[in-house]
Amino acid sequence: MALGRSRGRERTVDYWPGFVDALATLLLVFVFLLSVFMLAQFFLSQEITGKETVLARLTAQIRQLSEILALERANTGSLEEQIASLRASLRIAETERDKLRGEGGGADVKALASELEAERALSGQQISQIALLNQQIAALRRQLAALEDALEASEKTNRESQTKIADLGQRLNLALAQRVQELQRYRSEFFGRLRQILGNRPEIRVVGDRFVFQSEVFFDRGSAALRPEARPELDKLAAALLDLEKEIPADIPWVLRVDGHTDTRPIATAQFPSNWELSAARAISVVQYLISRGLKPDRLVAAGFGEFQPLDPGATEEAFSRNRRIELKLTER
């Protein structure tokens, strides 16, 4: 009766580790998406920083040109006032000249005529300066218009870049979701095949998205050498993986992770100073055997967890047996 109860408890499916692994997978996907988003934000900030630098430089040039334009306008106003004053003086001089001519004052007329010619020469020079200033103002206006066009083009390019980045992020999220769904479908098919091949055996369980083999199926106590009885089981596993490898598209980065676990009782031998070494060595033995059966090394991962992820926290022989295990998980690279 005690043996029956032990086997009954051993067949009980513990869903909690599967739920934890599902959450871990979800967290990895979220971290990956967050990394992609941060990378996109980094490139966007770099581009925006460059645009802001160009914009600041253009703004400084516009401000400088505006100051020059205001100065030139002030100078132009001053010159126009001088021209108006000179023209008034010219009219007064011409009036005085005509008056003196009527009175017969020849010498004074000559003096006034000379003064009038000097005023005219000065007025012509100032008119030339005004024309030159007008040309400079027109050139500055053309430069200002060109800078405004360049600023508008830069803003348009920035808006287009932001739109492209948003579109790229949506496409990346969609592609990632499709890949996750495809891998989930092939994982389900793989587990279905293994259930059919391995049958309903108490020492082999399905926990969440993992196949769990008791270590005694493959190894003797405290050993990492495969038992002869383990090879037929691993041959079935290798055959199922080889068939699946032909169906999964090459662009899906899948791997089979082989995890080694031990119970909490310490081990300290020359070959295995701790449970870390023992669990890792067992996982490596399984991986090496699968490679010998034709599986590609880049599709396999060996990991050792020691005694630090138990399925059963108890300290009984039954708990120790449950925790000594090899887990197989089809996951992303």
The model's pLDDT over 254-285, given as tens digits with 9 standing for 90+, comes to 899 999 999 999 998 999 999 999 999 999 99
The highest-confidence range among 133-142, 181-190, 312-321, by mean pLDDT, is: 312-321
pTM of the predicted model over 0.85:
no
Instruction: Please give the Cα distance from 307 to 265 (Å, whole number).
Output: 8
Residue-level pLDDT at 327: 94
Instruction: Tokens 């206006």: give the residue.
Output: 141
- Dihedral angle sign, alpha carbons of residues 238, 239, 244, 250: positive
Is 184 a residue whose pLDDT tops 70? no
Instruction: Please give the Cα distance from 289 to 319 (Å, whole number).
Output: 28
More confident call, 53 vs 236: 236
C-alpha distances in angstroms, 275 versus 30, 263, 279, 313, 324? 32, 8, 6, 16, 11
Residue-level pLDDT at 3: 44
CA 98 centroid distance within chain? 88
Q: What percent of the chain has pLDDT over 70?
A: 71
Residue-level pLDDT at 215: 92
Q: Do residues 101 and 131 lie in contact, with contact meaning Cβ atoms separated by under 8 Å?
A: no
Residue-level pLDDT at 29: 81
Task: Give the angle 326-279-218 at the CA atoms, nearest 5°.
Answer: 45
Is 331 a residue whose pLDDT tops 80? yes
Q: Do residues 272 and 278 lie in contact, with contact meaning Cβ atoms separated by under 8 Å?
A: yes
Is 7 a residue whose pLDDT tops 70? no
Residue-level pLDDT at 231: 92
- Among candidates 191, 83, 86, 69, which has minimal Cα distance to 133? 69
Summarised one tens digit per residue, pLDDT across range 93-144 is 677 766 766 655 555 556 666 776 776 776 677 777 777 777 877 777 787 7
Is 71 a residue whose pLDDT tops 90? no
48-55: Cβ within 8 A, 24+ apart: 48/158, 51/154, 51/155, 51/157, 51/158, 54/154, 55/151, 55/154
Residue-level pLDDT at 13: 61
Instruction: Please give the Cα distance from 153 to 161 (Å, whole number).
Output: 12
Residue-level pLDDT at 124: 72
Least confident of 35-44, 291-300, 324-333: 35-44
Is 20 a residue whose pLDDT tops 50? yes
More confident call, 213 vs 26: 213
Within a 10 A sphere around the Cβ of 159, how many other Cβ atoms? 10
Domains and CATH numbers, the chain: 42-178 (1.10.287.1490), 200-332 (3.30.1330.60)
Residue-level pLDDT at 223: 95
Residue-level pLDDT at 6: 47
Over residues 209-219, the mean pLDDT reads 88
The highest-confidence range among 43-52, 185-194, 246-255, 264-273, by mean pLDDT, is: 264-273
pLDDT tier, 1 (very low <50, low <70, confident <90, very high otherwise): very low
Instruction: Tokens 């049958």: give the residue.
Output: 199
C-alpha distances in angstroms, 68 versus 54, 81, 145, 273, 284? 21, 20, 15, 82, 77
Instruction: Please give the Cα distance from 51 to 218 (Å, whole number).
Output: 63
